[in-house]
Amino acid sequence: MDYRKGLVVRPSHKVKLGSIDPGFKGSGEDKASAEAKTARLVEKLGDLQYLLYAENRRSLLICLQGLDAAGKDGTIRHVMTGMNPQGTRVHAFKVPSTLEASHDFLWRIHAQAPARGEVVVFNRSHYEDVLVARVHSLVPKKVWSKRYDVINEFENDLVEAGTVILKFFLHISKDEQLRRFKQRLDDPKRRWKISEADYSERKSWPDYVKAYEEALSRTSTDAAPWFVVPADHKWFRNLAIAQIIRDTLDSLGMKTPAPTVDIAEIKRKYHSAAED
């Protein structure tokens, strides 16, 4: 299945998360074959990232959004591992610092945008400013409601400057979230990740759904599309995201840059005499 077509939010399409099954496993996928496919895709992603870096013309920005335990960290661990740390960067956006909060909301975001040749993953992003900021009234409605258009313009500018943008919403069910919290509590290595706020945020679940639906509906564009990734099954989430990134990078038709020197001439000058 072509997940790039199947999971994309069509521009101006009104998303209803309630009608998208978080437990979707693709058509005819099973865990073992999906993991094998993902492994091959991840290897290919390494080659494509190398080309992007070598070309030094374009960049890739991947935005990961989702509620707590939706799998943002796991996606990075599983899907990005084939990429060379030289040329790849992950940035996790937390509650804005005093300095960050004293600027416009895109200030800290723009500073982390990828340079030419670079792949950058945003673990949370500027979308928090129309999600948590809206759900918890961190700013008044007249402020957050204007941000959708501002975001579209900002992303459009990045795309014009050569950045390819892919945005993934990791869609999990409320039951799966609770199950993952419990697993974390029971795992001495992962307990540290749990906070009481994770549980109290569950009360705002319907508000987050509304906020996500509006963000997805208003900011999925041809230039910077959103994908709703069913994420109750981690193996499906990894497969779908890896495939979408691979297909997108593949479609750029990137080529290894031509050498800047005359290879034959250099060989003749510096190699033949010594090696003959």
Which is closer to ligand AMP, CB of 71 or CB of 117?
71
R_g over Cα of the chain: 21
How far is CA 108 from each of CA 60, 97, 141, rounded to the nearest angstrom? 18, 10, 21
CB 208 within 8 A of CB 191: no
CB 198 within 8 A of CB 66: no
Q: Which two tokens stand for residue 194?
A: 């749990």
Is 68 one of the binding residues for Mg ion (CB under 5 A)? Answer: yes
Q: Segment near Mg ion (CB under 5 A), from 1-9, 63-71, 231-239, 240-248?
A: 63-71
SS (H, E, C) 103-124: CCCCHHHHHCCCCCCCEEEEEC
List the single partner that 132 binds among ligand AMP, Mg ion, none, CB under 5 to 8 Å by kind: ligand AMP
Q: Determine the residue with CB nearest Mg ion.
A: 68
Q: Which two tokens stand for residue 179?
A: 């199950």
Which is closer to Mg ion, CB of 177 or CB of 217?
177
Residues contacting Mg ion: total by CB under 5 A: 1
Helix, strand or coil for residue 231? coil
Which is closer to ligand AMP, CB of 127 or CB of 226?
127
Residues in region 136-195 near ligand AMP by CB under 6 A: 138
Residues in region 83-142 near Mg ion by CB under 5 A: none
Which is closer to Mg ion, CB of 63 or CB of 83?
63
Residues in region 77-136 near ligand AMP by CB under 6 A: 93-96, 124, 128-129, 132-133
- Give the number of other Cβ atoms within 10 Å of residue 11's Cβ: 15
Which is closer to ligand AMP, CB of 41 or CB of 130?
130
At its nearest, how many Å lie between ligand AMP and the CB of residue 94? Answer: 4
* CA pair distance 123, 14, nearest whole angstrom: 25
β-strand pairing of 59-66 with 119-123: parallel
At its nearest, how many Å lie between ligand AMP and the CB of residue 132? Answer: 4
Residues that bind ligand AMP (CB under 6 A): 93-96, 124, 128-129, 132-133, 138
Residues that bind Mg ion (CB under 5 A): 68
